[in-house]
Amino acid sequence: MTRQPILAGNWKMHLTKRKASALARDVAATQGMATGRECMVFPTFVHLDHVRRNLKGSNVKLGAQNCWPKKEGAFTGEISPYMLRDMGVDVLLIGHSERRHLMSESDALIVEKVKLGLKAKLEVMLCVGETLEEREANLTFEVLARQLKALKVVKPIYFDKISVAYEPVWAIGTGLTAAPETAQKAHQECRRVIGGVLGPEVAGSIRILYGGSVKPDNVSALLSQPDVDGALVGGASLTIEQFGPILQAAPSA
């Protein structure tokens, strides 16, 4: 089964409106209408519309970093997936480790977000990953299995709308990229667990991205692993000098 790689930039709470728009234009110019790989960017909510306009004419997808799992209502300060869809968003990032750990998002809340995001006709990228303490206590696979259970709510009509980002918390923003073989072991386990939750066909077709200090000089080795289907990139997605080569990287031989 060939899985088209996804290269995604998570811009977190960075950039100004002008810088995000300029970066979107540069990403669009680099990716253009290239086929064989998918590209997506996740700007902060308030930059979504500007970024959308600057991606026009390219096939770069527009992503949002979060949502609140209600269609509408009295939820001051929150944003519905339906509003995001209405705004032209294609993809929703759910369960990023910064949301799990800094904003205390629970597995139960993440399940609701996955469910409503898909219902709102958005693609969903579910982030999973263990902390350093969990890895050292040999709990990595247990944590991944627990977090991947959120996919249980995905109905067959949405099977091609989901992807997973394996992001070990200890590798995010630290410069401590997982060794390609370490990433491969975790990805293989994610795929095995997904097989149990959604069946072998989905396990074979779902894209599982690696995230955690991906840079131009380590992306090829990661992409060369059989179960690594792309990269979710934080810091190195904030300049075209770094993100450009990542978008164009090929798996190493």
Q: Could you give the residue numbers annotated as active site?
A: 96, 167
Distances (CA, A) of 63 to 71, 136, 199: 18, 33, 27
Of 72 and 241, which CB lies nearer to ligand PEP in the complex structure?
A: 241
Query: Rounded distance, CA 122 to CA 88, Å?
Result: 10
Cα gap 62→202, rounded to integer Å: 24
Q: Does 168 bind ligand PEP (CB under 6 A)?
A: no
Site for ligand PEP in 8-27 (CB under 6 A): 10
Residue number with the smallest Cβ distance to ligand PEP:
234
Q: Does 235 bind ligand PEP (CB under 6 A)?
A: yes
Region from 20-28, 52-60, 137-145, 212-220 binding ligand PEP, contact rule CB under 6 A: 212-220
Under the binding rule (CB under 6 A), the answer on residue 213 touching ligand PEP is yes
164 contacts 205 by C-beta, under 8 angstroms? no
Is 95 among the residues that bind ligand PEP (CB under 6 A)?
no
- Of 28 and 172, nearer to ligand PEP (C-beta) is 172
Q: Which is nearer to ligand PEP, 101 or 146 (CB)?
A: 101
Q: Which is nearer to ligand PEP, 137 or 176 (CB)?
A: 176
Q: Give the nearer residue to ligand PEP in terms of CB position, either 98 or 134.
A: 98
Residues from 172 through 211 that contact ligand PEP (CB under 6 A): 172-173, 211
**Which part of the chain contacts ligand PEP (CB under 6 A), choosing from 26-34, 139-147, 200-208, 229-237?**
229-237
- Residue 92 or 202: which CB sits closer to ligand PEP? 92
The three-point CA angle 113-70-52 to 5° equals 75
Q: Which range, of 31-39, 83-91, 151-159, 233-241, touches ligand PEP by CB under 6 A? A: 233-241
Pairwise CA distance, residues 119 & 43, whole Å: 22
Q: Minimal CA–CA distance to 131: which of 71, 189, 176, 171?
A: 171
The pair of three-digit structure tokens given for residue 61, joined into one six-digit string: 């997808």
The count of residues interacting with ligand PEP (CB under 6 A) is 13
Does 234 participate in binding ligand PEP (rule CB under 6 A)? yes
The reply on whether position 232 binds ligand PEP by CB under 6 A is yes
Closest distance between ligand PEP and the C-beta of residue 86, in Å?
26
**Per CB under 6 A, does 233 bind ligand PEP?**
yes
Binding-site ranges for ligand PEP (CB under 6 A): 10, 167, 172-173, 211-214, 232-236
